[in-house]
Amino acid sequence: MTPSSIRVRPTVLMAMSAVVADRVIGPEGLSEINRIAELPQLLPLTEFHSPGARQLLHEVEVLITGWGCPVIDEGTLAAAPHLRAIIHTAGSIRPHVTEACFDRGIKVVSAASANAQPVVEYTLAMIILEGKRVLERASHYHRDRRIPSLGETDSSLGNYHRRVGILSASMIGRGVMRLLHHHDFRVLLCDPYVEESTARDYGAELVSIEELFERCDIVSLHTPLLPSTRGLVTRRLLDSMKPGAVLINTARGALVDQEALTDAVSAGKIRAVLDVTEPEQLPTNDPLWDCENVLVTPHLAGSQGNELTRLRELALGELSRWTVGEPLRHTVPHDALKMSA
């Protein structure tokens, strides 16, 4: 590295909600930012239009963004003539970053890989638990207060050679397949953008979406929500699932025809693990709450608690590399914006 490649301490601002700044960045992160950059304001920007915000934006070179960041559009960029990098401390950049950022040549970084890890772990855990029907059987045990005999145990439960279907070889989908490879599962993959050779690399059989739903005991959704994927999981696909099959959704609720899903689980035909729904916050009288064969979790698969530290470490590692002119490791290519979650 030559002296000319070393930047003067850049001016950095945070743009995210105050709660996110406190939980993701925190005092330790602020200390690290101050060590390598100028941070003219400790509080994060939550809007870009006030005179105070515009004054700060005029000098900023790097925005560290997170959940709650306002949209960085052409008007914001006009107020930030020196902005060179956006480092996002979460996964999806679509709610915050626009085409204009890429058009101006701004480097965009995402912590998607760090946020993917707990989703992968959650998905694997749910696949294994559902294969053993742990939640259902624990409920029965609590009710009956006795251990069923081996003869009373359904011979269809268990995880040996269970067929698991992965819908989309996204970053999370690929992570799940890597972990499944270490277990005695048979993995099927549906992704129109993947070649058979790539599927084989992950130990998976490449199939159509119809085959995925018809053949698998468990189907896990990892598709980004795009105009073309909204309602992708139709009533016809849900009706084609095996009796007792499981749908796991950690992606987006709107991927699924929720009325059809509600009908299928209410009839007891299939089971579901839903970390996301449509709407995201289910109404208090939604019938899914009362379905014994449905587990609804409060969008917790992604980074929470101490897992947020992983997001900060990735983001500030990238800031450090950018400051000294080293290659960034987690940049988002322009063409990925339209296909990201």
Contacts of 31 (CB under 8 A, 6+ apart): none
| CA 302 to chain CA centroid, nearest Å | 6
How far apart CA 10 and CA 129 sit, in angstroms, is: 48
Active site residue 299: yes
Place of tokens 């626009």: 98
Residue 131 neighbours by CB distance under 10 Å? 19
CA angle 334, 6, 100 (to 5 degrees): 20
Pairing of strands 246-249, 186-190: unpaired
How far apart CA 256 and CA 278 sit, in angstroms, is: 8
How far apart CA 260 and CA 235 sit, in angstroms, is: 5
Backbone angles phi, psi at 154, to 5 degrees: -60, 125
CA angle 103, 105, 111 (to 5 degrees): 105
The residue from 181, 299, 330, 334 that is catalytic is 299
**Integer distance in angstroms from the first to the last C-alpha of the chain?**
36
Dihedral sign (CA 143, 146, 149, 150): positive
Catalytic residue set: 299
